[in-house]
A and B are shown apart, each in its own frame.
Chain A
Amino acid sequence: MTTVIAPTSIEIEQPPELEVINMTKRFGSLVALDNVSMLIKPGTFHALLGENGAGKSTLVKCIMGFYRADQGDVLIGKHSRQIESPRDAQKYGIGMVYQHFTSVPAMTVAENLVLSRLNSPGLINWNEEYAKLNAFMANAPFQVPLDVPISQLAAGQKQKLEILKQLYLKSKILILDEPTSVLTPDEADEVLGLIREQVTAERLSVLIISHKFREVTTFADEVTVLRKGKFAGHGTVKDLTIADMAEMMMGERREPQKVAKVQQSDRLSILQVTDLHANKDNGLAAVKGVSLTVHGGEIVGIAGISGNGQKELVEVLAGQRSPISGQVLVNGEPYTATRVEMFKHKVFALPEEPLRNACVPHMSVAENMALRTFDRPPQAKGFLLILKTIRQMAQDLIQQFKVKTPSAETPIGNLSGGNVQRAVLARELSSDQINLLIAANPCFGLDFGAVEFIHGQIVEARNQGVAVLLVSEDLDELLALSDRIIVISGGQFAYESQTETADFSAISHSMAGH
């Protein structure tokens, strides 16, 4: 009997207060988190906002014990606690729900719940477990059938289960990492609404990482904003407008930085996209009827919070994804991203994550640099590869673009991220005649020097008359480089303007989907 009473008395217990004080985390020379403090009061729904790379995940991972902070303290209920691992975090009642599901698809809900307990006995008494689980479910904020295998649950139910798992583990502080990114808006509202009820009843505190202002304004009490690893603002949601929050996220209104640009006189339209539709991998619509034109000698920047369809748009243009419908014209001719068309129209691409998207990791730097040119003279003679020319060209490019590599024969996967990026840049920008360049987050995760170099190369290409489509999550980068800026939101273009006359708050608003 006592064992039954003990947990219920804990259940009524208020969640503890969680405070982070002056937390700093460095990865090598990169400061991911710089002296950030945050307070989550008991029984509040707290949102953590920030652009990609702002340090939200790093902060949360430091709290959960995945990373060890270089400096700073975590206080739980006013006591400083050392959290060395997620197991420790669980001990203090902190649980995290990840963006992606962590349940075993082939096992039932009940099995997954029991599995999630760290102290599962070697032999499981299922009758007893079921009795406990049924009792737990009776009091749970939402219901998931216990006997159904995970693989048969809908996405919303799976996400509910992830949250139930944390309640089952008696977590009092829930950390949700973009929990709704895999849900439809209705499912998202339902799940968050039910959690909100738990918070209002003071059974839980919630820290939610989100990009979506709508969710924040509907469900959260307080908000903390990070920008580039630093604390950028804090406030109660009812005192803040969306524009205020967007401004905290993106920074103060900035004058577009001038890059030495040559004015172009002839404005031939190079890339023409008409009513393009494309799906995500899971079959949901990602790009919903997008039309744009890029002229020669022009950089068109596409801004947007990640996950709004820009990745799929780039993949279609780069040949990695088939569109559902719509037309892509390059130089006025239909373009389906075959090798012949790429060569004919001189289309090049700088995709994000170059090692994953544009390189073969175990092939050599020289071979990777030859990816565009290996099948035509002088690197090939008929069907034969001329290895000497391939090596020679690679050595020239390595010098010209200052790629740091032990040799041209080193597998490119052994190089650092910045040097992989340089090698891809060398391959894509070294051609004499480029007509169209498609770049996606070309500077993501690179250090300052590399960023400056890549920006210089892109502007240089533009000045020579190349049409550039630049997709980036870094608004500063877009404002600095592009001639024209377009905002994508929910798979559609929400704002378009010449960069000189762009209205910053309108950009922020349309990025947030308002």
Chain B
Amino acid sequence: MKSWRRTLEAFCLPFGAILFGLILFGIFCAAVGQNPLAVYGSIWKAGFGNWRTFQNTLIRAAPLMLTSLCTALPARLGLVIIGNEGALIIGGLAAVSIGLVLAGSAPPLIVQVGMAIMGMIAGGLWIASAGALRHYRGVNETISSLLLNYIAIALLNHLVGGPMRDPNSLNKPSTYPLPEADMLSNIPGTRVHWGLLLGVIACVIAYFLIQRTTFGFAARTAGGNIRAARIAGLSVGKLTVIVCFLGGACAGLAGMVEVAAVQGAANESLNVGYGYGGILVAFAARHNPLAAIVMSLLVGGILASGGVLQRSFGLPDATVLVFEGLIFLVVLYSDSLYGKFPFFKEKPVMSPPPPAPSAPTPTATT
């Protein structure tokens, strides 16, 4: 059994980090002349205050869960992939393309399944290319996946502004809309679409895949020590490409959900930061897919409060991005604190007092 202290550490550090990020954000708010406590209150109310607003959070959490896997899965192989945004966009574009082709000629369920599959394949191939470049050509996967984001965004702008543009979309260039009947419906009794369920299922499957299957075992081995994986005869290249494909497929599915449940067409609203939010979620969850579900709710709530901050405090819409960025930095920093607090050490030392002249623990995450 993993000792309770280590488990507690895995809980305390990320939440401590978020708390500290909150304090930093409070300082930021105070600096621009707002009462931090009032801002906190609004964020809470807008994100989690009641069932009505919490549904907004859930709607945003769904794509975050999916995009977080695009970082979390390859992370198990020791790769840092940040191409979530690009995979989401490409997945959305592929989904809307197949959706428009199938629409009218097939029953809605078939259209939706087709869209999901196309979105996953497109997003998967997108990220798999970064993985393949990494393994076979030695290209840094973080940089290549980041740059792939820009290619995806440019492709989106090109397609919705040109070849795929619906002439009726004047203010906001979009593709032709999907018929209402082929859209993903809402979970009964809520305003939340079925994409949330997809997100939760994907996270659970991802967890199961990594922890309980031979494939996951091989991936963890290759991620932990590539030399050991080679001695065991594991095909590291194949593993790299497949895991990247799976991660990309999840982000592609997020794009499909956004298109088929929220936007109804592909347009620049695909590119609103769910991909980058997913990176934050994955790191805060320490690449554990189950923890990513919880973290997605948290980050979803923060994103949902953007409008309120703008309306009630006159803060710019991007303020939530500042908040997100601060939390991201602090979460990354907190990663370096694992094992630094004597309290969380697995085996308490038998003779405690003598060797403890260390400086007081940093206040960052306490």
Asked if B231 and A320 make an inter-chain contact with CB atoms under 8 angstroms apart, the answer reads yes
Instruction: List the B side residues contacting A262 at CB < 8 Å.
Output: none
B137 within 8 A of A: no
- Distance between Cα atoms of A338 and B213 in the complex (Å): 20
The interface size bin for chain A is: 20 to 34
B50-66 interface mask toward A, CB cutoff 8 Å, 1 = contact, 0 = none?
A: 00000000000000000
A380 within 8 A of B: yes
Assuming the contacts A383-B215, A384-B213, A385-B214, asked whether A339 and B225 have C-beta atoms less than 8 A apart, the reply is no
A338-368 interface mask toward B, CB cutoff 8 Å, 1 = contact, 0 = none?
A: 1111110000010100001111111100010
Asked if A385 and B217 make an inter-chain contact with CB atoms under 8 angstroms apart, the answer reads yes
Question: Which residues 198-241 of B sit at the A interface, judged by CB distance below 8 A?
Answer: 212-218, 220-221, 224-225, 227-228, 230-235
- Distance between Cα atoms of A360 and B228 in the complex (Å): 7
B217 contact from A341, A356, A367, Cβ within 8 A: A367
The minimal Cβ–Cβ distance linking B216 to chain A, given in whole angstroms, is 8
Asked if A359 and B233 make an inter-chain contact with CB atoms under 8 angstroms apart, the answer reads no
- Distance between Cα atoms of A59 and B301 in the complex (Å): 62
Asked if A339 and B232 make an inter-chain contact with CB atoms under 8 angstroms apart, the answer reads yes
Instruction: List the A side residues contacting B214 at CB < 8 Å.
Output: 374-375, 380, 383-385
A449 within 8 A of B: no
Asked if A338 and B233 make an inter-chain contact with CB atoms under 8 angstroms apart, the answer reads yes
B2 contact from A319, A338, A409, Cβ within 8 A: A409
B349 within 8 A of A: no
Q: Do most interface residues of chain A lie in helix, strand or loop, or is the interface mixed?
A: loop
A311 within 8 A of B: no
- Distance between Cα atoms of A375 and B347 in the complex (Å): 32
Which residue of B has the minimal Cβ distance to A387? B212
Instruction: List the A side residues contacting B220 at CB < 8 Å.
Output: 360, 363, 367
Which residue of B has the minimal Cβ distance to A360? B224
Asked if B224 and A361 make an inter-chain contact with CB atoms under 8 angstroms apart, the answer reads yes
Asked if B225 and A320 make an inter-chain contact with CB atoms under 8 angstroms apart, the answer reads no
A154 within 8 A of B: no
Instruction: List the A side residues contacting B225 at CB < 8 Å.
Output: 356, 359-361
A318 within 8 A of B: yes
Asked if B217 and A374 make an inter-chain contact with CB atoms under 8 angstroms apart, the answer reads yes
Instruction: List the B side residues contacting A341 at CB < 8 Å.
Output: 233
Which residue of B has the minimal Cβ distance to A381? B214
Instruction: List the B side residues contacting A140 at CB < 8 Å.
Output: none
Asked if B235 and A320 make an inter-chain contact with CB atoms under 8 angstroms apart, the answer reads no
Instruction: List the B side residues contacting A342 at CB < 8 Å.
Output: 232-233
Minimum-distance CB pairs A-B, first 6: A339-B233, A360-B224, A375-B214, A342-B233, A320-B230, A360-B225
Extra pairs beyond A338-B233, A375-B218 (15, CB < 8 Å):
A318-B231, A319-B233, A320-B231, A337-B233, A357-B227, A358-B231, A361-B224, A363-B221, A363-B224, A370-B217, A372-B232, A374-B214, A380-B214, A384-B212, A406-B347
Q: Which residues of B contact A (CB under 8 A)?
A: 1-2, 212-218, 220-221, 224-225, 227-228, 230-235, 347
